[in-house]
Amino acid sequence: MVKISLDVMGGDFGPEVVIPGAARALERHPEITFILFGQREKCEPFLAKYPKLKAKSVFHDCEVAIAMDEKPSQALRRGRYVSSMWRSIEAVKTGEADVVVSAGNTGALMAMSKFCLRTMANVERPAIAGIWPTLKGESIVLDIGATIGADAQQLLDFAVMGGAMARALFQIDRPSIGLLNVGVEEIKGQEEVREAGRMLREAGLDTLNYAGFVEGDDLGKGTVDVVVTEGFTGNIALKAAEGTARQIATYLRAAMSRSLMSKIGYFFAKGAFDALKDKMDPRKVNGGVFLGLNGIVIKSHGGTDAEGFGSAIEVGYDMARNGLTQKIENDLKLYHTRFPSTSRAGSSSAGPEAA
Amino acid sequence: MVKISLDVMGGDFGPEVVIPGAARALERHPEITFILFGQREKCEPFLAKYPKLKAKSVFHDCEVAIAMDEKPSQALRRGRYVSSMWRSIEAVKTGEADVVVSAGNTGALMAMSKFCLRTMANVERPAIAGIWPTLKGESIVLDIGATIGADAQQLLDFAVMGGAMARALFQIDRPSIGLLNVGVEEIKGQEEVREAGRMLREAGLDTLNYAGFVEGDDLGKGTVDVVVTEGFTGNIALKAAEGTARQIATYLRAAMSRSLMSKIGYFFAKGAFDALKDKMDPRKVNGGVFLGLNGIVIKSHGGTDAEGFGSAIEVGYDMARNGLTQKIENDLKLYHTRFPSTSRAGSSSAGPEAA
């Protein structure tokens, strides 16, 4: 049994999307139980349509819903303890839920998650990991926007956390990890990326296979299981790729409706186009995962539909079932015990000082 | 008449691609004359096939060709004064040519260009500008890999230089400029990007229209004429977008050959697919432009074919014909005369000290 906590008010559409999304996830994984947090009068009408979901859920009425454009600081002031967002996160802290899923605004969700769950020992800053569709399947890319900039040690923490996520999600023992960098000869990349590369090579970790630097076009190729970068570049790379996919879809639609011949062609090839659409469907890989907190938080796209929110729930389900938090904690501990000199202040004093 | 200097030995294929590429560009623009730099015995066989090009060219035999994997420092040591790359750049310095085009290795080309042409007054570091295909047409994106990192003043120089290029290439009086940033609420982006935004807003330049921050997905949308970022992020965004385009092309090919129906569909829609392929053709927008040097240097993709190299020549032709270097110099001067306090040491002393 996996217990999933939902911020029903989150996202552009709130209960209208979250509740049907949960119903879809339940259809596929009947062993899920839900804890729902939302404004009762807004949720009831939708919940009434899904009696199976209602039977497998506990509903908690919350007075406050966080707006999509609310600043994190304001959201914290107004919504701490009382909002559907906060309380859905809190359910993970108290152990009532294994994972929380919200389509609410990223900044507020991250601020509340940090405040409520706190970062793990040895982790200075959490990261958001995205699941990137590739020619080989899927890769994990982090950080895609939790913070700006990262020093070598933080990049290394991202690598360990991303590796643990890959082990949980893809069920591989020793996922390959690449550091995102530029390939131009003269400029061999940021100093912190080079330093992180040296550290990863020297560490020789059992839980991950460091494959060196990768470039922007390796993301789509699926060259490695996990791509590590800091949040500014990661966020821009993600959005540039999404934008390109939308751009090509627009070209394709225009091309297919430009003549009678192409319309006939479209008619015959419709099955193929549907398969392509399915491949390119951003809803299928919906869901960023907050890593480095004492609990699993899944962020779904704010503008997603029920299918997309259902996918985000399934990502959370996979993470919880495979013990992601425990895996991350163990991997980080392993690393920081072996390399105590790299541990953060406060935690390093607990470990042995000699290598 | 536009005089174009070519590094015939540059690129993965050298004269095999450069010479037919030049012939194509000449076909379209008979007013071009060429100055060719290469190893005579390797170039002659190809040149013999294009008598029209031969008639419009002066050939200079060079003993050294720079390898694609040569380090910039090594290329400079080995190739200064004597290589086809160096001499083709030098032709711009001496005024024999209006612009140089090379498909040679980016690091070496940038190192030699800086060494030979020097950066313009008021410019601390050159940038590489790319032409990005968008839903609205084309945008200019810089820096896509000349250097790593940029402070606010450098981002501002990029904006002024990119604006001048947009005025030359798109023939608009006051191109719109956006600074690439992340949209997540909590993290409002790098300090230098915010500072550059403040400076651009306050400057209120006549030559460009500052439109604020843009995100990664605005690149493909064509939200602004010029997108400004530092080279690490710009390079990764470019390659992520290129990778995504290739990824989708692969999906599309697979989808179209998966069944008899889809093959029939492909047959009927072939015209549409060709139009799409044309839209997505990276060769059409081949060519990065080095900005901020005392002369125009065009970098073509190393692996391009004759059509792609021809496009790169045409970009150079457009830039030269529209007086890009002069436009950049004027715009920078205008800016730095109006805001002398922001000028670099060495050049600021020449300007008036009072605002």
Tell me which of A257 and A214 has the higher pLDDT: A214
Nearest alpha carbon to residue A214 among A158, A289, A141: A141
Calpha distance B160→B143 (Å, rounded): 12
Q: How far is CA B114 from CA A193, B65, B86, B117, B146, in A?
A: 26, 19, 11, 6, 11
State the average pLDDT for chain A. Answer: 88
Least confident of A93-97, A225-229, A342-346, B253-257: A342-346
Q: Does B277 touch chain A (CB under 8 A)?
A: no
State the DSSP string of A116-171.
HH-BPTT-SS-EEEEEEEETTEEEEEE-SSSSS---HHHHHHHHHHHHHHHHHHH-
A261: chain B residues, CB-CB within 8 Å: 268-269, 271-272
d(Cα B175, Cα A191) in Å, to the nearest integer?
35
| Chain A contact present for B218, CB below 8 A | yes
> Does A222 have pLDDT greater than 80?
yes
Say whether B265 and A268 touch across the interface (CB within 8 A): yes
pLDDT of A187: 52
What pLDDT, on the 0 to 100 scale, is given for residue B1?
Answer: 87
Query: Is B235 within 8 Å of chain A by CB?
Result: yes
Give residues 100 to 119 of B whose Cβ lies within 8 Å of A: 105-108, 110-111
Sort out which chain B residues have CB atoms less than 8 A from A275's CB and list them. Answer: 255, 258
Does the CB of B352 have a partner CB in chain A at under 8 Å? no
- The ipTM is 0.85
pLDDT at A353: 33
The residue of chain A with its CA nearest to that of B218 is A243
For residues A80 and A74, what is the distance between their CA atoms, to the nearest angstrom?
A: 10
**C-beta neighbour count of B294 within 10 angstroms:** 17
The CATH number, out of the four listed (2.60.40.10, 3.30.470.30, 3.30.70.20, 3.40.718.10), of the domain defined by the range B1-123+292-323: 3.40.718.10
Question: Is A278:A284 a contact under the CB 8 Å cutoff?
Answer: yes
Residue that wins the pLDDT comparison between A277 and B196: B196
- Which of B105, B187, B216 lies closest to A147 in CB terms? B187
Closest CB to A243: pick one of B147, B220, B229: B220
The candidate with the shortest Cα–Cα distance to B287, out of B141, B86, B98, is B141
Host H or E run for residue A255: helix A231-256
Q: Which residues of B touch A216 (CB under 8 A)?
A: 235-243
- Chain A residues touching residue B69 (CB < 8 angstroms): 185
| Region for A337 from its dihedrals, namely left if φ exceeds 0, alpha if ψ lies in -120 to 50, beta otherwise | alpha
User: What CATH number does domain A126-285 carry, 2.40.50.1020, 3.40.50.620, 3.40.718.10, 1.10.510.10?
Assistant: 3.40.718.10
Burial of residue A158 (number of CB atoms within 10 Å: 0-12, 13-18, 19+): buried
Tell me the pTM: 0.88
Instruction: Give the residue on A whose Cα is nearest the Cα of B68.
Output: A185
Judged by a CB distance cut-off of 8 A, whether residue B253 touches chain A is: no
Displacement of CA B136 from its chain's centroid (Å): 19
Q: In what order do the strands lie in the sheet with B32-38?
A: B57-61, B32-38, B2-7, B99-102, B296-299, B288-291, B127-134, B137-142, B226-228, B176-180, B209-214
Classify burial at B95, counting beta carbons within 10 Å of its beta carbon; exposed 0-12, middle 13-18, buried 19 or more.
exposed
Please give the residue of chain B at the shortest CA–CA distance from A69.
Answer: B185
Q: Would you call B242 an interface residue with chain A, using a CB distance cutoff of 8 Å?
A: yes
- State yes or no: pLDDT of A107 exceeds 50: yes
pLDDT in tens, A7-61: 999 999 999 999 999 999 999 999 999 999 999 999 999 999 999 999 999 999 9
Model confidence pLDDT, tens digit, residues B78-132: 999 999 999 999 999 999 999 999 999 988 999 999 999 999 988 889 999 999 9
Asked if residue A183 has pLDDT above 90, the reply is no
Contacts of B240 in chain A (CB under 8 A): 216-217, 219-220, 237-238, 240-241, 244
What is residue B100's predicted lDDT score, i.e. its pLDDT? 98
Domains A1-123+292-323 and A126-285 equal at CATH topology level: yes
Q: Is A209 on the interface with B (CB under 8 A)?
A: no
Torsion angles phi and psi, residue A82, rounded to 5: -115, -20
Can you say whether residue B3 is alpha, beta or left, with left for phi > 0 and alpha for psi between -120 and 50 degrees? beta
Task: Check if the beta carbon of residue B49 is closer than 8 Å to that of residue B25.
Answer: no
pLDDT attached to residue A351: 35
One-letter amino acid of B95:
G
Between CA A338 and CA A200 the distance in angstroms is 13
DSSP string, A31-73: TEEEEEEE-HHHHHHHHTT-HHHHHTEEEEE-SB---TT--HH
Name the phi and psi angles at B202, rounded to 5.
-70, -30
Instruction: State the DSSP code for A343.
Output: S
pLDDT in tens, chain B (355 residues): 899 999 999 999 999 999 999 999 999 999 999 999 999 999 999 999 999 999 999 999 999 999 998 989 999 999 999 999 999 999 999 999 999 999 999 889 999 999 999 999 888 899 999 999 899 999 999 999 888 889 999 999 999 999 999 998 888 999 999 999 987 544 567 889 999 999 999 888 888 999 999 999 999 999 999 999 999 999 999 999 988 888 888 888 887 777 887 788 777 777 777 777 776 666 666 679 999 999 999 999 888 999 999 999 999 999 999 888 888 888 888 888 777 655 554 333 333 333 3
The answer to whether the CB of B92 falls within 8 A of the CB of B319 is no
Q: Where are the domains of chain A?
A: 1-123+292-323, 126-285
**Residue among A107, A146, A236 whose CB faces B233 most closely:** A236
The DSSP symbol for A281 reads -
A285 touches chain B (CB under 8 A): no
Chain B residues within 8 A of A237 when measuring between CB atoms: 216, 236-237, 240
Q: Give me the pLDDT at residue B269, please.
A: 75
**Residue A353 Cα, gap to closest chain B Cα (Å):** 36
Statement: residue A209 has pLDDT above 90: yes
CB contact under 8 A, B107 and A270: no
Taking a C-beta distance cutoff of 8 angstroms, is the pair B182, A106 a contact? no
Burial class (CB within 10 angstroms; exposed 0-12, middle 13-18, buried 19+) of A340 = middle
Contact with chain A for residue B238, Cβ under 8 A: yes
Phi, psi of A81 (to 5 degrees): 70, -25
**Contact status, residue A276 vs residue B256, Cβ threshold 8 Å:** no
B255 touches chain A (CB under 8 A): yes
